[in-house]
Amino acid sequence: MKSFKCVIWIIFISSHFCEAQEYKHQETAIKFLKHRDYRKLHKQFDENLKKSVSVHFLKASWQGLEKEFGKYKSHGITNLVKGKTVDKYVTLVCFNKGSLVLETSLGDKGKISSIFLRPKTYTIPEYGQNLVYNKENITITSGKYSLPGEIVYPKELSKKVPLVIFVHGSGANNREEGIGPVKVFKDMYLGLLTKGIACMVYDKRTLVYKKEFDTSQFTLWDETIEDAANAFKLAKTRPDVDTNQIYIIGHSQGGYALPLILKNCNGVKGGISLAGCSRPIDALIEYQYHYLTELDGKVSLPEKIFLKKEMKKVQFVRSDKLLTAKPKLKLLGYWPTAFWIDVKNYKPVEVLKTLDMPVLFLQGDRDYQVTNEDFKLWKTGYLEKMNWSFISYPKLNHLFIEGEGKPNPSEYWNGGNVPMYVIEDIAEWVKGL
């Protein structure tokens, strides 16, 4: 059975700390977890931790991790991280479908005083290390909404430079589009800076005003389009930007909204779709739910119940009943009734075909969220729009990170960076126009 959301089970209880003493405890802890010997692991805890973490909690937490990430496979060397008040022992633990970091500390008797199993953290890509660049803090204003963001410029500005504006996927995303240990937009803007291209990023409205949007009706315009259009207006006022060379990059839902964004950006040079959805979102949700519940080859009874309930919602948003029904907040996914009415007749490919501008489509072949079916649908407009370009990548998933095997949500927690070859493709396309 697979879980529907990538749930991270965390063991994080700490008591009082003093200096760590040896590495053997880390190997012992991993051994007991691997063999599911929770009682023996519990005996390695100091008295305060024993009171806070029960054997039952250890068992339930480890079983939750195994459901999400698969069985234990291996672990790396342990690194000692010195701290002002406590030293931490850090080890990468690899499972069949992902990796987590085991972090512990020791008490004054050599017993474990804290244990923390968490996702990997973000690592700056090689192409972004030691990179020097300029940053300007900005605010995207759309009526009563103000979104913090930034424009990053190449360090040497001998002439005006092209600029790309990044538009997020679904959910409450920050300006770096951080998902676990992956930061899609940060990787891309660091890479594009090395190619002499400036970038604009900002926090999404549904993040900055999360409480409001969790309890209100909103549309695709409210969630995505309006702020992207106002970001473009702001970009045109920047003195170091070549205003004839401004592009919109939309990832996932941002790619789905890209035709409407471009339509509302008078003078934009072109658009770049990163795994942009071209099918109706309800069709995408239907596919994703079936894919995830069938990922391990069997569908449990709870999953069958879940599917039945969610498929009723899918059918409802497709029906005319949607137009007259009492508004709900989270009708399907996190989107309210107003959103579903707004996109009911939206056809991204048809809208994009009405615009006369170059568009670059990038797609990972290992993407289970927005698939090659969407990529193929975009291609149906190619014969009418010869200035559309398409590139697919065999190893990349929805976050444009390399991987192997059947894609699954747990691999996002392995971390990784957007490969330089993706950034080079974008830069070459931009500079070739």
> Using alpha carbons only, what angle is made at residue 187 by residues 121 and 128, rounded to the nearest 5 degrees?
90
> Residue range 224-246: average pLDDT?
98
pLDDT at 2: 41
| DSSP for 268-296, written as a single string | --EEEEES---S-HHHHHHHHHHHHHTTT
pLDDT at 190: 98
399's CB contacts (< 8 A; 6+ apart) are 179, 182, 184, 412, 418
151's CB contacts (< 8 A; 6+ apart) are 135, 136, 138, 163, 198, 199, 200, 235, 238, 241
Per-residue model confidence as pLDDT tens digits over 275-289: 999 999 999 999 999
Closest C-alpha among 360, 424, 409 to residue 388: 360
Q: Which CATH superfamily is domain 126-280+346-431 in?
A: Alpha/Beta hydrolase fold, catalytic domain (3.40.50.1820)
Contact 193, 127 (CB under 8 A): no
- Entry pTM: 0.82
Residue 143, token pair as written in the block: 């009526």
Contact 193, 154 (CB under 8 A): yes
Give 12-119's CATH code, choosing from 3.90.1150.10, 2.30.40.10, 2.60.40.10, 3.10.450.590.
Answer: 3.10.450.590
Contact 364, 396 (CB under 8 A): yes
User: Distance between CA atoms of 391 and 179, rounded to whole angstroms?
Assistant: 24
Whether the pLDDT of residue 164 is over 60: the answer is: yes
User: Distance between CA atoms of 196 and 73, rounded to whole angstroms?
Assistant: 42
- Domain boundaries defined on the chain: 12-119, 126-280+346-431
Contact 413, 6 (CB under 8 A): yes
Whether the pLDDT of residue 151 is over 60: the answer is: yes
User: Distance between CA atoms of 311 and 301, rounded to whole angstroms?
Assistant: 15
User: Distance between CA atoms of 184 and 181, rounded to whole angstroms?
Assistant: 10
pLDDT at 17: 30
Considering 23-32, 153-162, 228-237, the range whose residues carry the highest mean pLDDT is 228-237
Residue 26, token pair as written in the block: 């880390």
Residues in a beta bridge with 147: 140
pLDDT at 402: 97
Whether the pLDDT of residue 4 is over 80: the answer is: no
Residues in a beta bridge with 118: 101
Per-residue model confidence as pLDDT tens digits over 372-405: 999 999 999 876 777 999 999 999 999 999 999 9
